Amino acid sequence: MVFFRSVSALARLRSRVGQQSSLSNSVRWIQMQSSTDMDLKSQLQELIPEQQDRLKKLKSEHGKVQLGNITVDMVIGGMRGMTGLLWETSLLDPEEGIRFRGLSIPECQKVLPAAQSGGEPLPEGLLWLLLTGKVPSKEQVEALSQDLANRAAVPDYVYNAIDALPSTAHPMTQFASGVMALQVQSEFQKAYENGIHKSKFWEPTYEDCLNLIARVPVVAAYVYRRMYKNGDSIPSDKSLDYGANFSHMLGFDDDKMKELMRLYITIHSDHEGGNVSAHTGHLVGSALSDPYLSFAAALNGLAGPLHGLANQEVLLWIKSVVEECGENISKDQLKEYVWKTLNSGKVVPGYGHGVLRKTDPRYVCQREFALKHLPDDPLFQLVSKLYEVVPPVLTELRKVKNPWPNVDAHSGVLLNHYGLTEARALGLALERPKSVTMDWLDAFCKKAKASSA
């Protein structure tokens, strides 16, 4: 359910703008914020010229500075570790985890507005932060939430397009089909066909992005209810915030579930620019494809087992543990099952990451939520035992052999059968280049200039 990962960055693609922030800048913004300025688009209109100038200056002053050496391993290894993308909304550190506009997940939980005192941050607040680099007020978040609710109507032909597929089709196939059907209403496509000046590209793109963000929960909930609830869909409730309304449309009206959905959407809204879905959306968008086309492409990348489908693989693996050993499995039994999985040539899904070298902070905050709200849940207790058992096993495994399997798919630009066949035959790696912010580029270039003086 990563609704913003590709979409939130697309508003920047048309104008080639960048936006930046740090924790100190965000704190300063809290002190300066005017509660009367409620319109997100007007904020962007003020920010864009400044950031356009910043990018021009960065290019003119440091355009020839080298960012590192490219090795054969990087090329063969799916561009792993190769800095090649500009992505302002978030930065992923191998040791620390993700930061959204300079803010860590715990910091976002502290400063972003929540639906209730001491509660989880509202996704609308994170969206505002990603697009502007500024922490919004509660009033601004409420205004954005209402704006999204007003944009959320989905035409009947979208549902008809989904219904044309078998109900047994994978949910991501149905979801992507629904997004493609939404493309009929693209504001950017209409504006481009009417000859809009390139300096204004961002404006219809912004409209498409906000419309898409508003409508994808409706489409996703429809697919879920179609597959698992006999097609009994639940209408949107405009009185609810973004996360709570999505929970409601899925059929979960418990307040704790609404809080979990707010947290889940917030922490999965962006994860740097090099992951498959974000990278794909960025790549397709760079061709001036509208946000619907870009996001649909990103969803298809997300559907791969080495990316978003890994969530499904985790659930299926845990289900297999329960079916074979029961929910109350001991740590010793679980360790034995883990070794059984590894010795069969398979992996334990959910462990290992293309960039992170420590526990993912997104897991940590969800674990803390579970400890607070459902500590005695048998499934959560099983996952907690895995958290204790699996890492030592993988550490031991590394001493004798490489614990990671060969990758049998390649997310690249060889969009023909030969390229795909070759990639699978050679076991080429998942593409995962590194993205950086303008702050990072500034600091790197200044350091390089100083060392060469």
Sequence-ordered alpha helix ranges (H) in 268-360: 276-285, 291-302, 310-325, 331-343
* Length reported for the chain: 453
Give the three-state DSSP class for 93: strand
Angle between helices 138-150 and 40-62 (to 10 degrees): 100
Q: Which residue type sits at 216?
A: V
253 given a catalytic annotation: no
**Catalytic hit among 353, 360, 439, 442:** 353
Do 120 and 365 touch, CB atoms closer than 8 A?
Answer: no
**Catalytic hit among 268, 279, 282, 307:** 307
CB count in 10 Å sphere of residue 56? 11
353 given a catalytic annotation: yes
d(CA 450, CA 443): 11
d(CA 41, CA 206): 8
d(CA 313, CA 422): 25
d(CA 30, CA 140): 12
408 given a catalytic annotation: yes
d(CA 397, CA 287): 44
d(CA 138, CA 155): 31
d(CA 102, CA 23): 5
Q: For the residues of 365-426, what is the DSSP string, one character each?
A: HHHHHHHHH-TT-HHHHHHHHHHHHHHHHHHHHHTTS--SPPP----SS--SHHHHHHHHHH
Q: Which residue type sits at 268?
A: H
Structure tokens at 354: 């293309």
| Residues forming the active site | 307, 353, 408
